């Protein structure tokens, strides 16, 4: 009886396998092997207490515009040749004005800045109620709540804060008074303090007087920064996700203290799968829609008028405080909710 054939040797079945010493490899082969076996690590998450890198880059535009405008005013012969009036917080008006935009009656100031919050509100709601990414009532209602929070801050600072606005209260607190009309007030009944408080804080300009002394926060800078950054937040995150342009993610603190990406809060919702199927279509301009394009135009005008304000109106400290007061409201509305789950459940986050 024949014995069974021996098993085929490894050398006769397919390519041979042999141990390769690392010392026999060329430098390029070593790099290839090392890179193919390296474990990929996720990029570090952004601190939820701070803006994301993209947000920080956009926010930096505001101080850059203010600094550039201030330097331009210092270096420009036309601006330096024009007299600055600290009472009116502007340069010479009329034919002696250093620029058309240095006049308080220029059309951009009268028709846009003076009615700025109306333009901002109109473009915001046009976007919210026409963009396909904002489908649910919850998304629209939370966006409306954020608008109400920012609008309330605008009212408190510039219009009314349980009496005179914060700007007027700050001016009077730092020693400001209503010039020209103070003599008439002194002749009034000294015991009628209520009339004096309202008159000096809220009705000075309409009564023909002018603010004198004190620190006057730049209402123009406040409005233009608050409104434009509000639109950038509301439109930017929605459109960025819709066309898959934004690569970074905001981080949020969960109820159990864990820090996660903001999208974790919607991934379990039914609408999330549909959104994933709809997103990524078209360019950024197509993704903006009519409301988004309107918002971009408003933001552009805000940036231009902010630069004009930086060049021709207010002192640098008045402009700085206007910027800081606006940034305070933006931080409370868009950064703080990432760290407070209870607050986030009420006002939400743009694009979520």
CA pseudo-torsion sign 218, 127, 155, 60: negative
CA distance 323 to 123: 22
- Contact present, 157 and 222 (Cβ < 8 Å): yes
Active site residue 220: yes
Residue pLDDT tens, the chain, 352 long: 455 555 554 444 444 444 445 455 555 454 444 444 444 444 567 888 999 999 999 999 999 999 999 999 889 888 887 877 666 667 766 667 778 888 888 899 999 999 999 999 999 999 999 998 888 899 999 999 999 999 999 999 999 888 888 988 888 888 777 765 455 555 544 444 444 444 444 567 666 667 677 788 889 999 999 999 999 999 999 998 888 777 788 899 998 988 888 888 776 554 555 555 555 566 777 788 889 999 999 999 999 999 999 998 888 899 999 999 999 999 999 999 999 999 999 999 998 8
The full 3-state SS of the chain, as one line of letters, equals: CCCCCCCCCHHHCCCCCCCCCHHHCCHHHHHHHHHHHCCCCCCCCCCCCCCCHHHHHHHCHHHHHHHHHHHHHHHCHHHHHCCEECCCCEECCHHHCCCHHHCCCCHHHHHHHCCHHHHHHHHHHHHHCCCCCCCCHHHHHHHHHHHHHHHHHHHHHHCCCCCCCHHHHHHHHCCCEEECCHHHHHHCCCCCHHHHHHHHHHCCCCCCCEEECCCCCCHHHHHHHHHHHHHHHHHHHHHHHHCCCCCCCCEEECCCCCEEEHHHHCCCCHHHHHHHHHCCCCCHHHHHHHHHHHHHHHHHHHHHHHHHHHHHCCCHHHHHHHHHHHHHHHHHHHHHHHCCHHHHHHHCCCCC
The pLDDT, as a whole number, for residue 186 is: 52
* pLDDT score for 14: 45
- Which pLDDT score, from 0 to 100, does residue 187 have? 52
Q: Rg of the chain over CA atoms, in angstroms?
A: 30
Exactly one of 19, 91, 290, 314 is catalytic; which is it?
314
Task: Please report, for residues 241, 244, 298, the alpha-carbon distance to residue 280 in angstroms, rounded to integers and kept in the order given.
Answer: 8, 5, 25
> What pLDDT is attached to residue 203?
62
Q: Which residues contact 61 (CB under 8 A, 6 or more apart)?
A: 303
Reported pTM: 0.78
Selecting among 131, 215, 220, 290, the annotated active-site residue is: 220
């Amino acid at each position: 009886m024949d014995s069974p054939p021996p098993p085929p040797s490894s050398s006769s079945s397919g390519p041979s396998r042999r141990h390769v010493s690392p010392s026999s490899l060329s430098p390029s082969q070593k790099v290839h092997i090392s890179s193919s076996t390296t474990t990929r690590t996720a990029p570090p998450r952004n601190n939820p207490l701070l803006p994301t890198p993209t947000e920080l880059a956009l926010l930096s535009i505001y101080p850059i515009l203010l600094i550039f405008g201030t330097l331009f005013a210092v270096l420009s012969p036309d601006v330096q040749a024009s007299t600055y009036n600290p009472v009116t917080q502007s340069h010479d008006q009329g034919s002696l004005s250093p620029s058309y935009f240095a006049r308080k009656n220029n059309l951009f100031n009268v028709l846009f800045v003076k009615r700025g919050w109306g333009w901002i509100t109109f473009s915001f709601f046009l976007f919210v109620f026409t963009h396909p990414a904002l489908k649910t009532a919850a998304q629209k209602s939370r966006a409306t709540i954020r608008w109400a929070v920012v609008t309330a801050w605008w009212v408190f600072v510039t219009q009314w804060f349980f009496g005179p606005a914060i700007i007027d209260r700050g001016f009077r607190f730092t020693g400001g008074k209503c010039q020209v009309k103070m003599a008439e007030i002194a002749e009034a009944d000294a015991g009628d303090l209520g009339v004096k408080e309202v008159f000096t804080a809220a009705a000075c300009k309409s009564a023909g007087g002018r603010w004198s002394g004190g620190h006057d926060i730049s209402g123009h800078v406040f409005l233009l920064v608050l409104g434009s950054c509000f639109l950038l937040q509301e439109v930017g995150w929605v459109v960025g996700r819709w066309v898959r342009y934004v690569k970074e993610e905001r981080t949020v603190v969960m109820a159990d203290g864990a820090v996660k990406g903001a999208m974790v809060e919607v991934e379990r919702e039914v609408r999330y799968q549909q959104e994933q199927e709809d997103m990524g279509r078209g360019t950024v301009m197509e993704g903006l829609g009519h409301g988004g394009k309107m918002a971009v135009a408003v933001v552009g005008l805000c940036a231009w008028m902010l630069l004009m304000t930086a060049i021709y109106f207010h002192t640098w400290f008045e402009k700085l405080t206007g910027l800081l007061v606006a940034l305070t409201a933006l931080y409370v509305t868009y950064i703080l909710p990432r760290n407070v789950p209870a607050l986030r459940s009420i006002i939400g986050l743009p694009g979520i």
